[in-house]
């Protein structure tokens, strides 16, 4: 299997509870390597652009408000089949459906405040990485 990259966000509910290290440890233990990382305060425009695919969904406004409610940590993760490895360790979007031992089962507060985001395909990973990182900021 190929070594690939994915994009991750540690969301405001998790940074607020000082869980950046705990979540990153779970990502690393799942075989992923942090090859870029920065803590940022997203602007409303940035969050709207990032989640543009959800613009017509009823939860879009609340999602954008939540994502700018505090700092987030955006990361590029590298590993064997990184998109799947990250999604497996994150667990289901809704923590009520997430498996034991996953990040969302362990830490998420709700479907909105679900502690972590991960790309859903290699194609979207490339788009999401480029949205937040310049190539020279990624050091594998
Ligand atoms: P994420 O992987 O960041 O992608 C979109 C986010 O929308 C998702 O995680 C959830 O946190 C959030 N969200 C809020 N409400 C819903 C919902 N009803 N269905 C799916 N996602 C939701």
pLDDT value of residue 1: 79
pLDDT value of residue 37: 98
6 lines ligand 1 (CB under 6 A): no
- Distance, in Å, from the CA atom of 66 to the CA atom of 115, rounded to the nearest integer, reads 11
4: three-class secondary structure by DSSP: strand
Question: Could you tell me the pLDDT band of residue 38, with boundaries at 50, 70 and 90?
Answer: very high
Question: Could you tell me the pLDDT band of residue 105, with boundaries at 50, 70 and 90?
Answer: very high
- pTM confidence score: 0.97
1-37 per-position pLDDT tens digit:
799 999 999 999 999 999 999 999 999 999 999 999 9
Half-sphere exposure of 123 (CA within 13 A, CB side): 0
Span between the terminal Cα atoms of the chain, in Å: 18
Please state the atom number of ligand 1 nearest to the C-alpha of residue 114: 11
């Amino acid at each position: 299997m190929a070594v690939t990259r994915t994009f991750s966000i540690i969301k405001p509910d998790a940074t607020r509870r000082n869980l950046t290290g705990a979540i990153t440890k779970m990502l690393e233990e799942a075989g992923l390597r942090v090859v870029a990382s920065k803590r940022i305060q997203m602007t409303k425009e940035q969050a709207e652009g990032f989640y543009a695919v959800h613009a017509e969904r009823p939860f879009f406004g609340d999602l954008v408000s939540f994502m700018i409610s505090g700092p987030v940590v955006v990361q590029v993760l590298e590993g064997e089949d990184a998109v799947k490895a990250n999604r497996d360790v994150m667990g289901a979007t809704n923590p009520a459906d997430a498996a034991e031992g996953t990040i969302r089962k362990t830490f998420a507060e709700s479907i909105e405040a679900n502690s972590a985001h991960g790309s859903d395909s290699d194609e979207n990973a490339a788009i999401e990485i480029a949205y937040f990182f310049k190539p020279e900021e990624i050091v594998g």
